[in-house]
Structure formats: C-alpha cells, structure tokens
C-alpha cells in the first residue's frame, strides 16, 4: 500500500516518490480523468498485444494527457514554489527523515 507524504504531494511506493493527483480537483472531474486514464491504459495494453505502433502512440499520448490533467505530470499543482521530487527515491529528498521515522514506527 502506498503512503502519502504529510503535505499530500506524493505517494511513496517502494521507496520512490510519485506525484499525487491535485487534491483541489472537484471529485467529479477527478473521477472522469481517472476513467480516461484507465481507458487509455487498457488501450496501451491492447496496442502492445496487437503490435500496432500507431495505436500505441495514440494510447500513450492519452495516458500522458490524463496524467497531466490530474496533476501527476507536467507543471506542479502547488503554488508555494517548492521543488518537484517526482520519481526520486525518498531517501534523496527532504522527506527522508520523516519517512525513516514513519518506517521505523
């Protein structure tokens, strides 16, 4: 199970930070975007299975668009100027000490 950082900006999965969706998105918008993302991921799987590079590119572009709209990729959704540590190992970020305390607890 993923752990959320105290500021809600990242999920931690196997020691790596992954940017969380923008919590300011209305629930209905977030739900619709998640549905689009899941559909696009299924399309990626189908394109890989059928060895169709054109469909694969289209499906991967749709995944990217959904993730950007959710705030998981692209410009950060927070406004305080804090750096983005997406995809960094938590031990190499300012969250390291908090995470060590959490894991040891």
Q: What is the pTM of this model?
A: 0.88
Kindly state the greatest CA–CA separation across the chain.
Answer: 49
Instruction: Give the C-alpha separation, 21 to 67, whole Å.
Output: 8
| 12-29 mean pLDDT | 97
DSSP code at position 76 = -
Query: Is the separation of the CB atoms in 36 and 66 below 8 Å?
Result: yes
The string of pLDDT tens digits covering residues 33-81 is: 999 999 999 999 999 999 999 999 999 999 999 999 999 999 999 999 9
Give the H/E segment covering residue 4. Answer: strand 3-4
Band the pLDDT of 105: cuts 50, 70, 90.
low
């Amino acid at each position: 199970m993923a752990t959320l950082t105290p500021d809600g900006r990242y999920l931690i999965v196997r020691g790596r930070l992954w940017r969380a969706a923008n919590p300011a998105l209305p629930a209905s918008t977030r739900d619709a975007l998640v549905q689009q993302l899941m559909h696009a991921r299924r399309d990626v799987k189908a394109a890989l299975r059928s060895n169709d590079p054109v469909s694969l590119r289209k499906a991967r572009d749709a995944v990217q668009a959904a993730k950007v709209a959710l705030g998981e990729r692209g410009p950060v959704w927070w406004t305080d100027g804090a750096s983005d540590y997406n995809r960094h190992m938590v031990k190499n970020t300012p969250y390291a000490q908090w995470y060590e305390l959490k894991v040891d607890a």
